[in-house]
């Protein structure tokens, strides 16, 4: 569909069982919606081989790997060397997701912080973007990101951003990116949309976090990469732009941050 603007789902989980019955169909529907690239995220390093296999199977799919903060206390602690070794794969394009989540797992805050700093070190050394999950931990997140940045620059995206304006500003001040998910499309998310509207356009990405957080009219059902376009249309409204222009802006942002994916595409 040549008249459909290209767009990228910068964060999904195609290895989750929700997609097992029809993964080829999921990728095909994404292409029909203009979603020409997807980054599927490994949240437990022992699952990396399965996630890598999906990226190797489907040309539009890239991948990243890390230890999700909610698993930081129960999974073996990642090492920088382990992440560096994974990063040698040509379709491995990001470090994470890592981060802090005190909503359900505040009791593992110390382990989460230790894991986060390891992932930051790997992002710094590889030059690949750090992919951050942040929930109910704004103060510690802003502090650690800034402390580590002072120790050495690194690139970062605040995935599925739904935190407060303070953390948004702290991340943006460090040159980081905010990613818009289906949460930004929900009727009660007016304050979140205002946070995005106040951010620079050249720091915005879009994602699904599929199979979670489907935007309307699919809310409550399984999300999938094709629905990135629905979130991006809301993003275009937030920025007062035509959809093709907003899609093009987010594509340029993705290419700048995920430069390894952009280079792979050009070489393909």
Annotate 19-30 with DSSP letters as a single string: GGGGHHHHHHHH
- Taking the CA atoms of residue 53, residue 58, residue 62 and residue 66 in that order, the dihedral angle to the nearest 10 degrees is -30
Nearest residue to 122 via CA among 84, 160, 159, 152: 84
**Contacts (Cβ under 8 Å, ≥6 apart) of 11:** 39, 41, 97, 131, 159, 160, 179, 181, 207, 208, 209
Helix, strand or coil, per DSSP, at residue 262 = helix
Dihedral, 74, 76, 80, 85 alpha carbons, nearest 10: -120
- Domain limits, the chain: 7-263
Domain 7-263 annotated CATH 3.20.20.140: yes
Give the SS3 label for residue 76.
Answer: coil
Q: pLDDT of the chain along its 268 residues, tens only?
A: 347 999 999 999 999 999 999 999 999 999 999 999 999 999 999 999 999 999 999 999 999 999 999 999 999 999 999 999 999 999 999 999 999 999 999 999 999 999 999 999 999 999 999 999 999 999 999 999 999 999 999 999 999 999 999 999 999 999 999 999 999 999 999 999 999 999 999 999 999 999 999 999 999 999 999 999 999 999 999 999 999 999 999 999 999 999 999 999 656 5
Helix (H, G, I), strand (E, B) or coil at 141: helix
> Which residues are registered as beta bridge partners of 64?
41, 94
**Phi, psi dihedral angles at 3 (to 5 degrees):** -90, 5
3-state DSSP helix/strand/coil percent for the chain, to nearest 5? 50, 15, 30
Strand order from edge to edge, sheet including 7-12? 7-12, 35-42, 61-65, 92-101, 130-135, 156-158, 177-180, 204-206
Q: What are 249's two structure tokens?
A: 């802006």
d(CA 219, CA 94): 28
Q: What is the pLDDT of residue 24?
A: 98
> Which structure tokens are listed for 9?
């789902």
Q: From residue 178, how far is each of 52, 91, 132, 192, 243 by CA, in Å?
A: 25, 22, 10, 11, 18
Q: What pLDDT is recorded for position 3? A: 76
């Amino acid at each position: 569909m040549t008249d459909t603007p290209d767009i990228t789902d910068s964060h999904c989980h195609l290895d989750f069982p929700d997609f097992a019955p029809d993964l080829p169909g999921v990728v095909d529907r994404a292409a029909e919606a203009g979603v020409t690239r997807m980054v599927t995220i490994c949240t437990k390093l022992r699952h990396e081989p399965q996630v890598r296999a999906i990226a190797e199977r489907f040309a539009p799919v890239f991948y990243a790997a890390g230890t999700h903060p909610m698993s930081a206390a129960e999974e073996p602690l990642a090492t920088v060397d382990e992440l560096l070794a994974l990063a040698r794969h040509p379709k491995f394009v990001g470090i994470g997701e890592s981060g802090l989540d005190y909503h359900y797992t505040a009791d593992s805050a110390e382990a989460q912080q230790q894991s986060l700093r390891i992932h930051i070190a790997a992002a710094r050394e590889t030059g690949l973007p750090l992919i951050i999950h942040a929930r109910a931990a704004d103060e510690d997140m802003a502090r650690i990101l800034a402390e580590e940045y002072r120790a050495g620059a690194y690139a970062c995206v605040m995935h599925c951003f739904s935190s407060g304006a303070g953390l948004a500003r702290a991340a943006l001040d460090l040159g980081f990116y905010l990613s818009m998910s289906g949460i930004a499309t929900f009727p009660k998310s007016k304050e979140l949309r205002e946070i995005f509207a106040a951010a620079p356009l050249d720091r915005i990405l879009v994602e699904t976090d599929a199979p979670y957080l489907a935007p309307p009219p699919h809310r409550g059902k399984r999300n999938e990469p094709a629905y990135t376009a629905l979130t991006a249309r809301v993003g275009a409204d937030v920025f007062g732009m035509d959809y093709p222009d907003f899609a093009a802006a987010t594509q340029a942002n993705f290419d700048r941050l995920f430069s390894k994916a952009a280079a792979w595409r050009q070489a393909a």
